[in-house]
Chains A and B, each alone.
Chain A
Amino acid sequence: MVPTPHATLASLLARHAGRAHELLPLLHALQDTEGYVDPAHVPAIAAALNLSRAEVHGVITFYHHFRSAPPPSTVVQVCRAEACRSRDGEALVAHVQARTGAHIDGDACHGVGVESVYCLGQCALSPAVTINGELHARVSPARFDVLLADAVASKEGRHD
């Protein structure tokens, strides 16, 4: 059974109640189940953990990992750090934008969003990307097209 968001939140609030230092694990758990941290939940989280709303909001916005809105159905992250740059990573960024129609760190297009990430630990096999959380290294523009098509197809339930 998939818990409703409210049940998820309620159990998380109960689990971390009164423990301000557990704000990050709580936010991670919430984002892992709902895909993002809904700003509407901030007051309840603040109250449960004995924090001000500003503190909770401040934490959510400080960390790049947390989202305040639902993610697009397909998320592409492209590494923008030095080792990927040394192997045409920025040309890959341009290719990914052109292919998906999405602007990096901007609006998604047809359900595909493109984001920057700064190092995936694959610097010896650069450039590196993730597609819906799955890691890929040594990504050429041609290989990216294949990987993206596979990822979109498997999202749509076609596992061929």
Chain B
Amino acid sequence: MTETAKSFRIYIPRDSAALALGADRVAAAVAAEATRRGVAIDIVRNGSRGLFWLEPLVEVATPAGRVGYSNVRPSQVAALFDGGWPACAAKDAERDVSHENPDGSWDAAMPACVGRVEAIPYLVRQQRLTFARVGVTDPLDPADYEAHGGLAGLRACLALDAEAACQTVLDSGLRGRGGAAFPAGIKWRTVSRAQSVQKYVVCNADEGDSGTFADRLIMESDPFVLIEGMMIAALSVGASEGIVYVRSEYPHAIAALEAAMAVARREGWLGPDVLGSGRACELRVAKAAGAYICGEETALLESLEGKRGVVRAKPPIPALSGLFGQPTLINNVITLASVPFIFAHGAQTYREYGMGRSQGTLPVQLAGNIRRGGLVELAFGVTLRTLLDDFGGGTASGRPAKAIQVGGPLGAYLPEAQWDVPMDYEAYAALGAVVGHGGVVVHDDTADMAGLASYAMEFCALESCGKCTPCRIGSTRGVEVIERIRRGDTSARQVKLLHDLCDTMVSGSLCAMGGMTPFPVRSALEHFPADFGLPDGAGCAEAA
């Protein structure tokens, strides 16, 4: 990219969250206005920083750093230039903008200057390892990627043999971020040691959970880090083909990944001779077709083989017999995107973050009824209260928060009494909750928890793969029982029936779809009995 001395470099995100709020039209308006006024500018379409309430967040590079303007609308661009923009950004960098609570105000007459973006507390307080480049770089610029530390991990990996590479992952303590939290290093070693000519690496980018967008943000805003992670994985386990299975609801992510793969191929980061090592690995994207269950790894493999996404019984585990019966490493986007940091900076450095057996960082996705929703990458151990108050700034509605669902549609609803428990796999398991993929969905006091419990069952009925009866039929019965209770039949018999149904689903389901749908249902019933028309305590299994 060439830049004349007087040209202003302006960053306008192309992440789908920014696009969903008009970023493309903002970029067009900025370009047109600059041309009309003869102001030399150079627009970079960066990713999003994940501070979504500020989007579209337009940044101007100044000697003091990048200065941000939040919630920019196309109709406001001319007035912005009238005020001396973008030249005034240099002065705005010095100006005393209150960083304490930079607040997006979607209805504001003019964009707000949020000052130096890197000084915004929401960002400063994070520990961004995996998301370090997100929003900073141009997602499709290979030089920008390398200038910000990219490829160091892959280069380090090329110097190791497969055993040592798998050991690095094991030593880092990294556990799968897709939900089950299985130690990544053990899985890698299993695939690595399996004897086969053909092996695969499959990246699970199905991200079906409500409240999650970390995978999407990586794919759209720093796709190279995922590509690098997949190459490290492929070399470590001996795979020559990698496939990213992306949900069809993410067309922008699919386009970004495909574009990034083409660049990476051109640069020799993948293909027949990875970074001149003489080793080969090809990558491609497979588009899913709107079935939640295809996020489950064996259903995903069935889908990749061209079939209906019906869950396979394990064993055999995919690590030994996966895609087309060959050894297959399946990891989530974030798991794979975390690996370049681990190889570049060492397993021990990564391990220093976190607590107990939950090591490294967890990208938390703050969503739902929250004032400042976005991506918060922190070492394990943060509490929901800190996330809600310090990062999120409370609910968007301004009403008291009531229940927080963590870990997607199969995760429990946590009442306020549990908001001080540190986020860690074991601590959450002790509550009967899950961390899952780190999705945090806040509901305020107007939420109808019985309605949400009913919806959880309905979603299971809609998305069940149909293989086992407790999940396929039990979920429909679950909706019926909850609706009966909601209509006023609050007898102990109905409550007991619902608990029995939940027990059957937990113990009789092949996968977590049927096995975990009871988590949101039971937690709603136990902690918010009033929403079901029940007296205090009447929602508990023991009471029923």
Q: Which residues of A contact B (CB under 8 A)?
A: 20-25, 27-28, 49, 55, 58-59, 62-66, 81-87, 117-126, 128, 133, 135-138
Contacts and interface: CB of A to CB of B under 8 A. Distances in A.
Given A24-B287, A65-B289, A119-B210, A82 B52 contact: no
Given A62-B308, A135-B16, A24 B441 contact: no
A66 B289 CA distance: 7
Interface in B289-346: 289-292, 303-309, 324
Given A123-B210, A135-B20, A62 B443 contact: no
B139 to A, nearest CB: 16
Contact of B370 (A23, A117, A124): A124
Contacts of A20: 305-306
B190 to A, nearest CB: 24
A117 B288 CA distance: 14
Contact of B207 (A25, A121, A124, A135): A121
A122 B455 CA distance: 19
Interface residues of B, number: 60
Contact of B374 (A22, A87, A124): A124
B20 A123 contact: no
B55 interface: yes
Contacts of A117: 249
Contact of A123 (B211, B304, B396, B447): B211
29 contacts: A59-B307, A63-B288, A63-B289, A63-B308, A65-B248, A65-B288, A65-B289, A65-B290, A81-B211, A81-B409, A82-B441, A83-B211, A83-B367, A84-B210, A85-B452, A87-B368, A118-B459, A118-B463, A121-B17, A121-B212, A121-B253, A123-B439, A124-B367, A124-B370, A125-B52, A126-B368, A128-B20, A136-B20, A138-B20
Given A63-B308, A65-B248, 15 more contacts: A20-B306, A22-B306, A24-B289, A55-B307, A64-B290, A82-B211, A83-B441, A85-B455, A86-B442, A87-B397, A119-B211, A121-B16, A124-B370, A125-B17, A125-B20
Nearest to A119: B210
Nearest to A49: B306
A158 B309 CA distance: 42
Contacts of A81: 210-211, 409, 459
A109 B379 CA distance: 50
Given A81-B210, A87-B369, A117-B249, A122 B16 contact: yes
Given A23-B306, A122-B20, A133-B251, A86 B365 contact: no
Given A119-B208, A124-B213, A125-B55, A28 B287 contact: yes
Contacts of A86: 368-369, 441-444, 447
Interface in B45-75: 52-53, 55
Contacts of B212: 119, 121, 123
B283 to A, nearest CB: 16
B409 A62 contact: no
Contacts of A128: 20
Contacts of A84: 210
Contacts of A27: 289
Contacts of B106: 138
B405 interface: yes
B457 interface: no
Contacts of B305: 20-21
Contacts of A136: 20
B209 interface: yes
B369 to A, nearest CB: 4
Contacts of A58: 308
A83 B210 contact: yes
Nearest to A27: B289
A62 B302 CA distance: 12
Contacts of A87: 368-369, 396-397
A62 B466 CA distance: 10
Interface in B203-222: 207-213, 216
Interface string B438-482: 010111100100001001000100010000000000000000000
Nearest to B303: A24
A49 to B, nearest CB: 8
A82 B281 CA distance: 39
B250 interface: yes
A21 B373 CA distance: 40
A73 B488 CA distance: 43
A86 B455 CA distance: 12
B391 to A, nearest CB: 11
A25 B288 CA distance: 9
B19 A123 contact: no
Given A24-B289, A86-B443, A123 B373 contact: yes
B170 interface: no
A63 to B, nearest CB: 4
A21 B305 CA distance: 4
A125 B409 CA distance: 18
A59 B367 contact: no
Contacts of B463: 118
Contacts of B409: 81-82
